[in-house]
Structure 1
């Protein structure tokens, strides 16, 4: 998830209008000018009447009673200047077949969550040992906000996974957001998917410090999921990022990996990024485990 990156959340509907300003009593000088103008108009009308004495009256034009059209009423001051997701067509025709008359109802087959579970319990120890050896979990610092309850967990490298003189590092972060309903969760996810579409195939920085692969739509995970791969050009580390919607919850997962020469857990210029296919396959498996264990 083309255009400039969206402004993060999703999110939030400013006041598009306001009350009309209340009228105030005109100052004295304005009343004096208005009165003077009225006197001039009366005198001018009398002069015109005297000037036209003796002239034949103009022919009366027929009164057109069928062609008078009332001007349309102006919209209320609180109505936005541009249409939102749903359009109010009560004041105009619906001749454009390309625009739907109403937004479709967003539904989900997953039961809504009432609270956020302990995210560190969503992934099994066997999965962590296979995808991120030597990594240990710890709760993150996610805070509630933007209308959602949030919790996260991180599995960070705590030891040296050595193979042939190289350290293979892997780390996982999982964040779960629970919204009041499915529609708000979809809006939040769509914001991240738009960002993925913007980053797809791009390089960021001058000179580039991050390169992005193509966005991938992943099926079989919740109500929808998209993923994208990125690679650091200075700190040689690859990352797969996936964003999933499941009912009224969203799941955001980042799976990082690099191959470092010697004993180190910090990627360097002579490191190698874990390839795109490997990290995308891993993050999809992590997301599947999280969705399966995300129950009320």
Structure 2
């Protein structure tokens, strides 16, 4: 049976009980009654719990809190949370990991590159004038950082190259990154290749409006190299992208083209994308010249 709080007699109030004081603090006699009621409730709850425990009817109890062991964060971008105990066996902590050095090429046969050459000097004019007619080179804006020395160069069309009523627009973009060692270069390349694998054979609708060919492996350029073709379905441009890892160096090349109807510099819905075979052949030829230049 539920009972309300004790009510004092009318004689308690100074005015005979017509108006109660504004304070909510209970009088002394009420504190005693309330304390006794709390003890009775506690004893009654214990008796009921004991009775229920013997009656065969389960009483819901809150689940115990379990504290999961947390390992200290690992260094590096690939750190992931772990539920393994943080303490390690003595034999696991007795060895120290050697620091990486610029000459560390454990899984590569190519000599490390200490600095990045001027990328605009890596491609001969005979190649750029053939693959990207009417183009001229200009250094890019790549800056050293994120564990690598970086330089880049662009070859953009500066005039009209008219064939059959179309301006054959072509451009080349080359980036070279020299990392501390081969492992870091390979990690950078793996990230780019994963993007290629994700895009391979896919068509991405608005706002990307891009259709991708299949990723292809290329041999003879370094430790590993992959390339992929893409076509923008609205602007009607096409791009061949190749990414190479060679020792402690990665090479990123984009070869872009479109046949623009009339004397148009910018592509539009009337442009023709350059066929995949032509673009992939061109970007592979560019990559061969770049790695040749890296050999000095």
Structure 2 CA distance for aligned equivalents of residues 254 and 208 of structure 1: 18
Alignment partner, residue 178 of structure 2: 178
Deviations 1:54-96 (A, max 9, x none): xxxxxxxxxxxxxxxxxxxx7764566439xxxx9959xxxxx
Q: How does 1:38-57 map to 2 (within 5 A)?
A: none
Query: What's the TM-score, normalizing by structure 2?
Result: 0.66
Deviations 1:96-151 (A, max 9, x none): xxxxxxxxx94211111111100000101101111111110000001112111110
2:177 corresponds to 1:165:
no
Q: Structure 1 regions of 5+ residues with no counterpart?
A: 1-73, 92-104
User: Tell me, what secondary structure is at the counterpart of 1:263?
Assistant: coil
Bigger relative CO (Cα 8 Å, ≥ 6 apart): 1
**Larger Rg, first or second structure (1 or 2):** 2
CA-atom RMSD in angstroms: 2.3
Q: How does 1:90-101 map to 2 (within 5 A)?
A: none
Query: What's the TM-score, normalizing by structure 1?
Result: 0.66
Which structure shows the higher helix fraction?
Answer: 2
Q: Structure 2 regions of 5+ residues with no counterpart?
A: 1-68, 75-79, 91-104
Structure 1 CA distance for aligned equivalents of residues 70 and 271 of structure 2: 62
After TM superposition, the runs of 4+ consecutive aligned structure 1 residues lying more than 6 A away are none
2:260 corresponds to 1:260:
yes
State the shift of 1:207 in Å.
Answer: 6.6
Q: Is the 8 A contact 2:71 2:81 kept in 1?
A: no
Question: Paired residues, what number?
Answer: 207
State the shift of 1:185 in Å.
Answer: 0.2
Does the C-alpha gap of structure 1 residues 108 and 75 become closer, same or farther in structure 2, counting only changes over 3 Å? same
Deviations 1:172-212 (A, max 9, x none): 00000010001100000000000100010112233761111
Alignment partner, residue 239 of structure 2: 239
Structure 1 CA distance for aligned equivalents of residues 213 and 204 of structure 2: 12
Alignment partner, residue 138 of structure 2: 138
Structure 1 CA distance for aligned equivalents of residues 165 and 72 of structure 2: 70
